[in-house]
Structure 1
Amino acid sequence: MSIPFVDLRTQYEALKENIQCRINNVLEHGQYIMGPEVAELESRLSVYTGAKHCITVSSGTDALLISLMALGVGPGDEVVTTPFTFAATAEVIVLLGAIPVFIDIDPLTCNIDVTQLEAAITSKTKIIMPVSLYGQPSDMDEINAIAARYGNIPVIEDAAQSFGADYRGKKSCNLSTIGCTSFFPSKPLGCYGDGGAIFTSDDSIAQTCREIRIHGQSKRYWHTRIGLGGRMDTLQCAIVLAKLERFDWEVAQRIEIGSTYNKMMDELGVERVRQKADRTSVFAQYTVLIENRETLQELLSLKGIPTAIHYPVPLNEQPIYRGYGLAIDTPVSTAVAKRVLSLPMSPDASEIINHVWAGLREALEHVSHDCESNR
């Protein structure tokens, strides 16, 4: 039995008619850039999150970049963030000449360790940028409170993996000054290419982001600021609109499947990323922490079970960022990076998780037997 790591095919079959209809509508009206589906999607997502403004953009990376630009980040500024994330989080900081300041993570959730945040703040701190990793929001209330004490430092939630998650009665992407998400195909709400969105309830920030995404124009051929080509294609917006029709069901399924996985891992005695009781996770990845990772990956592969590692090397240990970033000691990130392993996860994965559980159990028994034999 061979199973997909992210099952986009089953999702497409369930939504095929609506997706095709949405695509055909775009082909008929021919407005491939900033067509009516763009404004429709922004309105729908604004209502969904509760944020006043949604600005769709060309990728989750550009969502972060445009947000930093809108907040005036430049050379010499410091942005406090986590090293245990995808490179885009730090990449956009460095592209603007700013300095990523990496602090360690909570060993249970793998999100930024809020107890280390204040020690990292200096007179040069311009932004605090936590990542809502694996689909679970960071400790946003605590982060916002610290930011407020130090002169109302803006907070950008890198919510590339957590769109759809709840945090203390609010939605991810509407928890701070700005929230940014990604519609990369494998994300909880994905398109069929690149796409992303910026969320804010600040009118001035929203207007600035809208201008930056269209080459800094306040109106056609009137450039008021430096910008970039950061628009989300109409076709991709149409696809996300089609996927929204069953998104609530998908979020519920992700939570249910994640809960089932949790029970299975606890039964096997496998350490896992933990979820806090005051928030939900949309399980962009389902991640465990194990020893003998490479051996287990090979054994699971033989059983047709794909795996992935998110992320094998913290950013402050990557060759390029050693020269650009500042890091307080981050031993948890280093240790976790050597043990994390992500298992197949999709809203349509309920029929395969027993196979994954059985395969993991057998693989663990095999590794344990080999370890005993080598003693």
Structure 2
Amino acid sequence: MNIPLIDLKAQYNSIAEDLDRVTKEVLSSANYIMGKNVTEFEKEFAEYVGVKHAISVGNGTDALVIALKSLGIGKGDEVITTTFTFFATAESISAVGAKPVFVDVEKDTFNIDPSQIESKITKNTKAIMPVHIFGQSAKMDEINEIAKKHNLKVIEDACQAIGGKYKGKSIGTLSDVACFSFFPTKNLGCAGDGGIIVTDNDEVATIARALRTHGSGENGQKAYNLLNNITEEVEKASSDANDTVYNPLKYYNYLIGFNTRLDAIQAAILRVKLKHIDKWNEKRREIAGIYNESLKDTELVTPTVLGDCSPVYHMYILQSEDRESLLNKLKEKGVATGVYYPVPLHLQKVYKDLGYKEGDMPVAEYLSHRTFAIPVYPELTEEQVEHIIKSIKE
């Protein structure tokens, strides 16, 4: 039996009829950029998370970059974030000209350690960017309290955590602005790249909408007026304007922005999948519960779930003192695994100039040698789950 770490074909097959239908509808409409499906998906996603605004973009990394820029963060600023996450978190900070300042994580949850944040704050610190790693919320009450005390913005990197909750509140509603990724392997994934920014802040939403499309058009003028305290009537696109073919307002630019839009096919696919996300997340939790119970008497360390969190298990992470040997044996038994993350961000070569060294973030460094993921996708069969457990125990 061969079991992949993530089986995208199994998910496609479960809803193939609907996906094929909406894809063909978009293709036959010849409206591929922005348009109805994008607008409707943004409304549906905002309603799902529980926010006023959802601004879709080309990918999760762009969502983080635009979120930072929309908050006015740039050259000379510092943003505090976790060292134990995917590179895009820190990369987005660097991309706007700011400096990532890394903080170690908690050994049990893998999330940023709030007790270490305050010591990293300087006169240049403008924001804190926690990551809800592997689908479990960071300790947002403590993080927000620190941010409020020091007048800092908070940006949730929620790219792995769609549908998760913290103290009954949806991840994505716990900060000034939050970002999600729709990379195909995410719990809610499209058939390519995609991302979204969510916020209740009207000004941030206006600037983000302008930045995603070259700072142009109606949203570009709105953002320009907002940033320059100008009060004037904004020209609106005509009802027959078509972003795929011709929209005359796109040739009037007000900000230096980006070209990063969620295309209509991806939006249509995500609209279908959004209807299933709660069911899929619940199945992930069910499988994780089976793993927890079945593996509790082994030498492996199973994931810790905080009592006030409802995680979505983007990854099910185990810890082993002899990881490489175990992974090789599981491979022989047909069980795919993945190592997340082998090199903490403070030790990545690209950040050598920041001056971090081994030993600076002992918990993340410890975890980087012990953690690994096993399959937890919702399409796993009972037989596959049993095979995974049996293989680990053997």
TM over 0.5: same fold?
yes
CA–CA distance in structure 1, aligned partners of residues 158 and 331 of structure 2 = 30
Match among 365, 373, 393 for residue 342 of structure 1: 373
Offset at 1:325?
Answer: 6.8
CA shift, 1:218, in A, is 4.1
What residue number does 1:355 align with?
387
Look up the match of 1:274. 304
How well do the aligned residues superpose, as a CA RMSD in angstroms? 1.3
Of residues 67-76 and 193-202 in structure 1, the stretch that sits farther from structure 2 once superposed is 67-76
Matched, 1:2 2:2: yes
Q: Deviation per CA, 1:275-332, whole angstroms, max 9, x where unpaired?
A: 1111111111100110121111110000000000010000100111121476893100
Q: Is residue 344 of structure 2 the alignment partner of residue 310 of structure 1? A: no
| Cα contact 1:101–1:325 (8 A) shared by 2 | no
**Residue 180 in structure 1 maps to residue 211 in structure 2:** no
Deviation digits for residues 194-245 of structure 1, max 9, x if unmatched?
A: 0011000000000100000001124222222110001111111111111122
**Where in structure 2 are the equivalents of 1:245-324 lying within 5 Å?**
245-324=275-354
Alignment-derived partner of residue 373 in structure 1: none
- SS of 2:335's partner is coil
Maintained 8 Å contact 2:188/2:277: yes
The one-letter amino acid paired with 2:171 is S
Q: Secondary structure at the match of 1:197?
A: strand
Aligned to 1:160: 159
Question: Contact between 1:63 and 1:198, CA under 8 Å: does it hold in 2?
Answer: yes
In 2: Cα distance, 1:191 partner to 1:278 partner: 30
Q: Does 1:333 align with 2:364?
A: yes
CA distance in 2, matches of 1:301, 1:129: 36
2:93 matched residue in structure 1: 93
Identity %: 42
Please, what TM-score do these two structures have when normalized by structure 2?
0.89
- Contact kept, 8 Å, 1:82 with 1:130, in 2: the verdict is yes
One-letter code aligned to 2:367: V
Contact 1:110 1:273 in 2 (8 A): no
Aligned to 1:371: none
2:379 aligned counterpart, secondary structure: coil
Q: Which residue of 2 aligns with 1:190?
A: 189
Contact 1:200 1:206 in 2 (8 A): yes
- Any unmatched runs of 5+ in structure 2? 219-248
Counterpart code for 1:11: Q
The alpha carbon displacement at 1:137 in A equals 1.0
- Measured in 2, the distance between the counterparts of 1:325 and 1:59 equals 30
Aligned: 1:114 with 2:145 = no
1 CA distance for matches of 2:319 and 2:197? 32
* TM-score, with length taken from structure 1: 0.94
Check the 8 A contact 2:71/2:204 in 1, yes or no.
Answer: yes
Asked whether the equivalents of residues 5 and 344 of structure 1 are also in contact (C-alpha less than 8 Å), the reply is yes
**Runs of 4+ with >6 A deviation:** 325-328
- How far 1:267 moved relative to its partner? 2.7
Instruction: Provide, for residues 8-63 of structure 1, a one-character-per-residue CA deviation record: whole Å limited to 9, x for no partner.
Output: 22211111111111101101211111021101110011000001100111000000
Matched residues in 1 for 2:79 and 2:345: separation?
14
- 1:171 is matched with 170
Q: Structure 1: which 5+ runs fail to align? A: 363-375
Alpha-carbon offset, residue 98 of structure 1 = 1.0
Letter in 1 for 2:159: A
Offset at 1:112?
A: 0.2
Q: Distance in 1 between matches of 2:205 and 2:217?
A: 12
